[in-house]
Amino acid sequence: MSYTDNSLNNKRLPKWLKMQRASGENYTRVKKLVESRHLHTICKSGNCPNIGECWNAGTATFMILGDICTRSCKFCGTITGKPLPPDPEEPENLAESVRVMGLKHCVITSVDRDDLPDSGASFWAEVIKKVKELDPGTTIEALIPDFRGVEKDIQKVIDAGPEVISHNLETVERLTPEIRSAAKYRRSLDVIRYMSERSVRTKSGIMLGLGEKEEEVYRTMDDLLEAGCSVLTLGQYLRPSPDHMEVQEYIDPNMFEIYRQRGLGKGFLFVESHPLVRSSYHAEKHVREKE
C-alpha cells in the first residue's frame, strides 16, 4: 500500500487524513535505535501515519533486498531500476537490530527482485531464519512479493516459519492491469491460496480511492476468502508523485467501517479498515487466534 501523505495528492486532504505527531517513550527509544543503526524501515521512509502507535506497541516494518524495485507500479513511490546485489550481511544485521530494539513483532517486506533467479526467495528465508535464531521470542510477518507465482520459491518462505505471510492484492481485479506493472490479480490469489492450503495464516490488503466500486470491493473480499485468506487490511490510497495514479476519491471513515463489518460478517478473522490503515497496522495482533 502507498504510504505517502503530502500535497501532491490531487484533492485537498480531508480532516480525517491529518496525521498525528508521533510520540511516546517506546517510540522515542525505537527512533533513536533506528537512526543510530542506520536501519531502513518502511515506517519512517514511507511516512506511515501509524508509526507512533506501532513503535510504541513494539512493532516495526523492515525492507530487505535494497530499495530499488524491478517493477514500476503506478501506485508505489519506490524507485524503479537495476537493483544492487543482495547484501550478504543483511540477515545478521537485521536480526541483531531486532534483538537490540526489543521488538515483540516485526514485519519484513521487500522490493520485487525479478532480476534474481528465485526472485529473492532464498534470501528471504535466510533473513527469517536468522531473526528466529537470534530472537526466538519475536514473531514475524513476511509481506512478500509474488515471486512470479513459482511455488517452490514461495515454499522457501513458508519453510522458514514466519507466523503470518502477507501478499497484497493492492486493488480490485478491474484496476489491476492499470496500476500493477507485472503482477496479476489471479496470480496473487494463487499465491495466497498456495500458502493457505499449507496451513499458513495469510493476509492481504487493498487500497481504496482508485476508482473501485463498492460491489468490486465485496467481490475482492469473496475472492480472498475463497483463496483461504484470513486477515484483510483496507486503507486510503494517497498519491506518491504527479507521475502516479491520481486519487479518484477520499473514502469517508463511515464507509471504511461498513467495509470492516461486512468483511467480518463474510468470515475474515481480522479486518483493519480505516483511511490511515496500512499493511502492517496492528500486525502484532494478527498472529493470534481471534478471541
Q: What is the sign, positive or negative, of the torsion defined by CA atoms of 127, 128, 132, 135?
A: positive
**First CA to last CA across the chain, in angstroms?**
27
Single-letter residue type at 240: P
Q: Is residue 8 part of a domain?
A: no
Domain containing 36 equals 15-287
Q: What is the Cα–Cα distance from 284 to 281, expressed in whole angstroms?
A: 8
Stretches in the chain below the pLDDT threshold 50: 1-10, 291
Q: What is the Cα–Cα distance from 28 to 89, expressed in whole angstroms?
A: 27
Is 168:143 a contact under the CB 8 Å cutoff? yes
Q: What is the sign, positive or negative, of the torsion defined by CA atoms of 191, 196, 201, 207?
A: positive
Q: CA-based Rg of the chain, rounded to a whole angstrom?
A: 18
Q: Is residue 99 part of a domain?
A: yes
Q: Which three cell numbers stand for residue 175?
A: 484496476
Q: What is the Cα–Cα distance from 207 to 217, expressed in whole angstroms?
A: 10
**pLDDT on residue 25:** 67
**pLDDT on residue 77:** 75
3-state SS string over the chain? CCCCCCCCCCCCCCHHHCCCCCCCHHHHHHHHHHHHCCCCEHHHHCCCCCHHHHHHCCEEEEEECCCEECCCCCCCCCEECCCCCCCCCHHHHHHHHHHHHCCCEEEEEECCCCCCCCCCHHHHHHHHHHHHHHCCCCEEEEECCCHHHCHHHHHHHHHHCCCEEECCCECCCCCHHHHCCCCCHHHHHHHHHHHHCCCCEEEEEEEECCCCCHHHHHHHHHHHHHCCCCEEEEEECCCCCCCCCCCCCCCCHHHHHHHHHHHHHHCCCEEEECCCCCCCCCHHHHHCCCC
Q: Is residue 5 part of a domain?
A: no
**pLDDT on residue 5:** 43
**pLDDT on residue 7:** 44
Q: What is the Cα–Cα distance from 264 to 269, expressed in whole angstroms?
A: 7
pTM: 0.87
Longest distance between any two alpha carbons in the chain, whole Å: 47
**pLDDT on residue 19:** 61
140-170 residue pLDDT tens: 999 999 999 999 999 999 999 999 999 999 9
Q: Supply the CATH number for residue 29's domain.
A: 3.20.20.70
**pLDDT on residue 55:** 63
Q: Is residue 45 part of a domain?
A: yes
- What is the distance, to the nearest Å, from the Cα of residue 33 to the centroid of all Cα atoms in its chain? 22
**pLDDT on residue 18:** 66
Q: Is residue 6 part of a domain?
A: no
Q: Is residue 59 part of a domain?
A: yes
Q: How many domains does the chain have?
A: 1
List, in sequence order, every residue forming a beta bridge with 106; answer none if it has no partner. 60, 140
Q: Which three cell numbers stand for residue 248?
A: 479518484
